[in-house]
Amino acid sequence: MAQITIREAISQALWEEMEANEKIFIMGEEIGVWGGTYAVTRGFYDHFGADRVRDTPIAEGVIAGAAIGAALTGCRPVAEIMTINFALLAMDMIVNHAAKLRYMFGGQFSVPLIVRTPGGGGRQLGATHSQTLDAIFAHFPGLRVLAPATPYDCKGMLKAALRQDDPVLFIENATLYQKRGEVPDGEFLVPLGKSDIKRSGKDVTIVTYSKMLHVCLDAAKQLAKQGIEAEIVDLRTLRPLDMEPVFESFKKTNRAVVVEEGYPTFGVGAEIAARIQAECFDYMDAPVRRIAQLDVNLPYNRTLEQAAIPNADTVVKAVKEVMYV
């Protein structure tokens, strides 16, 4: 299998699906001639042409609204929002229209729309451009919310998303585009709505997703040197949320740490911890420990910003707390 970056994996998925299905087109700010803010669509404009690679005005509500209209009339648009922070400007279109139209019209319409957008902090972009807003969008029924963390999952899940008929928010962590991993040369899909065991272990369950997967894998290496074997469950999809692998792992380890980059208040970790407590209370040997970004606006200063985001040492400390409670 080839070793490629997440940027290349996403680009390959888009290219291959656009070659296979002429109904797919992409639209967004600077995605055409410029090739995208993160270079994912570089070369697409010259190959597919202006009809299928459409540069748009700086108007996220218009991008999402036009994409919904195109999806309703039989196209399969991929709308790129430059950052998930700007998706707030398209919130009404995404969660009040794309996510609800099929339900409100009794299944007469489908909205096969993909909204691609990067999120997360760690790049010194300031408080308004560094947020992890995954939990906000995952709150709403009717919208699939995907947040893969490896090149394999990014390519396979994006290809699968482009072949189904529900609206999808595909969240790419802004600091992971250069992350490398193995991806098969041939055709493959990764099922949506399925969590995945990224590391087997017997002592503690770590539940995570997106960038924090790699933080947790680093932490697991440190813990293994100290005789603690952590099992890591990568959620990959936040809606629908697949908890079965989490429950199975917890019933084996009896301890859990949930790690996310977003805010702790009303966050993904709170939902995971509540479900573990509700479904696996009799197996619980320690309270579920939650790790998240500090509940503050992210500073611009690099040292302060990094201090606010969870790291491997934070995870190691939390695991030891639940191991030796």
Residue 122: inside a domain:
yes
CATH of the domain at 223: 3.40.50.920
Quick check: helix, strand or coil at residue 135? helix
Task: Say if residues 124 and 304 touch (Cβ distance below 8 Å).
Answer: no
Structural domain contains residue 188: no
Q: Which of 140, 158, 183 is the last residue of a domain?
A: 183
Nearest to 15 by CA among 62, 37, 49, 47: 47
266-296 residue pLDDT tens: 999 999 999 999 999 999 999 999 999 999 9
Select from 183, 210, 230 the last residue of a domain. 183
pLDDT at position 325: 67
Out of 29, 60, 231, 271, the active site residue is: 60
Catalytic residue among 97, 129, 261, 271: 129
State the pLDDT confidence band at 95, using cuts at 50, 70 and 90: very high
- At residue 297 the predicted structure's pLDDT band, cuts being 50, 70 and 90, is very high
Residue 311: pLDDT over 80: yes
129 as an active site residue: the answer is yes
Edge-first strand listing for the sheet containing 256-259? 196-199, 230-234, 204-208, 256-259, 289-291
In-domain check, residue 173: yes
In a domain, 191, yes or no: no
CA 134 to chain centre: 7
Range of the domain at 135: 2-183
Query: What is the number of structural domains in the chain?
Result: 2
- Our answer to whether residue 231 is catalytic in this structure is no
Examine the domain organization and report whether 113 and 89 are in the same domain. Answer: yes
Say whether both 177 and 131 belong to one domain.
yes
Q: How far apart are CA 284 and CA 117, in angstroms?
A: 37
pTM of the model: 0.96
What is the tens place of the pLDDT at every residue in 118-156? 999 999 999 999 999 999 999 999 999 999 999 999 999
Q: How far apart are CA 135 and CA 204, in angstroms?
A: 24
